[in-house]
Amino acid sequence: MPQKVIWRHKGERPSTLGNNTLIVDWMPQKDLLGHPQTKVFVAHGGTNGVQEAIYHGVPVLGIPLFFDQYDNLLRLQHRGAGKIIELADRSANDPNGSGHLLGRICDAYKGAPHLRTEAYKMPWFLCCRARRTTKSKKH
């Protein structure tokens, strides 16, 4: 896979991992999603991660595990901002599995500029001004 991957993983580096993967103990998720080179976010579909991905316009490759994650990812998929991978359907030896799909999604979305809000292009002083004028005054 030609894409570079940043993976949050605790423990020893798996021996089968390629040289294109950086393993970190922790990384600020919002900073990673806000980086212009981030093409896709592989996540479990929790509410915070989904909202942060939407805010930054990054498509989600979701692997739901439990609770509301499947529903969150289903809503993203329905709107064309993500794709669901069932954990039970994929194996490490599947040539058309999640790695291949990740590459196809990166190529197809090209950073998903159509999903980004236009507000990120606004100058900071307009954002602050808009916030200040919309606040209700308390007397």
Query: Do the bridges between strand 82-84 and strand 60-62 make them parallel or antiparallel, or are there none, so unpaired?
Result: parallel
The whole-model pTM stands at: 0.64
For the purposes of burial, counting CB atoms within 10 Å of the CB of 117, is it exposed (0-12), middle (13-18) or buried (19 or more)? exposed
CB atoms within 10 A of CB 39: 20
Q: Where are the domains of the chain?
A: 5-134
Burial class (CB in 10 A: 0-12, 13-18, 19+), 37: exposed
Q: What is the pLDDT of residues 30-81, one digit of tens each?
A: 999 999 999 999 999 999 999 999 999 999 999 998 889 999 999 999 998 9
- pLDDT tens across 111-126, in order? 556 555 566 566 656 5
Topology (CATH) of 5-134:
Rossmann fold (3.40.50)
Average pLDDT over residues 2-9: 86
